[in-house]
Structure 1
Amino acid sequence: MTANKEKDDTADSTVTEATQSLSYDIGETEPPSIAVVKAVAAVTGKDVRDLAPLYEVINPDHLDGIFDDLDGAAHSHAEVSLQFNGCAVTVTTESVHVRRCE
């Protein structure tokens, strides 16, 4: 993961660093839907269980299906953009790019 971070300078703050944007490389066996949730959790600083469900925005199976291999050949030019938990998310064949909108 690559991230741009903005640190909270409050001396007694227990707030962790807020990430403004992130590029998350999708693993070979990781479904894009899981990568989206992990990347958004990293940007928002929330646990994945505290995020609104991805299915409220897009069907996770359909998202994964867009990037599935067909006869051994992956889609090389597929891209999906959506808004999820206050973030702009773009999913490509190899990565998930997340930017906070709030």
Structure 2
Amino acid sequence: MRGNDDGVRQDGRDDEHSTHSAGLAEDSPHRVSYDTPAKRPSQAVVEAVSEVTDTNLTDIGPLYSAIDPEALDKLFRRDDGRGAPTGRVTFALDGHEVTVRSGGVVEVRADGDDE
């Protein structure tokens, strides 16, 4: 599946849990797509890290220790009438580098991996 320059899928699919790579290969992140109107980015982040680490959602460190969940959700909200937001945010959570991209994509990689 080819994506654009920032790695967002081009096929228009909005599968809630579309996993594009299994596990954490050294050269590529674990990438998950989520349904942007139905799910908040903050929720998708916790679920993606849980999936990668094979950990219960409640056992992951608090998201607010890494980033303000409300601010993250507002960055990628589509209800302002100006069209879909663009961009990405990267932060560390539970020993992983997490990138949230516009278009409903979360990438998780082990801290220290090069992009």
Q: What TM-score, normalized by structure 2, do the two folds share?
A: 0.70
Q: Tell me what 1:24 maps to.
A: 32
In the alignment of these two chains, the number of paired residues is 87
Unaligned runs of at least 5 residues, structure 1: 5-18
Q: Tell me what 2:109 maps to.
A: 99
Measured after TM superposition, the shift of residue 35 of structure 1 is 0.4
Q: Tell me what 2:21 maps to.
A: 3
User: Counterpart of 2:90 in structure 1: which amino acid?
Assistant: S
Structure 2 residue 69 is the aligned partner of structure 1 residue 51: no
Unaligned runs of at least 5 residues, structure 2: 1-18
What CA RMSD, in Å, does the superposition of the two structures yield over aligned residues? Answer: 1.5
Distance 2:109 2:88 in 1: 16
Q: SS of the residue aligned with 1:3?
A: coil
Q: Tell me what 1:79 maps to.
A: 88
Percent sequence identity is: 31
Q: Tell me what 1:40 maps to.
A: 49
User: Counterpart of 1:98 in structure 2: which amino acid?
Assistant: V
More strand by share: 1
Runs of 4+ in 1 over 6 A off after TM superposition: none
Q: Give 1 or 2 for the bigger CA radius of gyration.
A: 1
Q: What TM-score, normalized by structure 1, do the two folds share?
A: 0.78
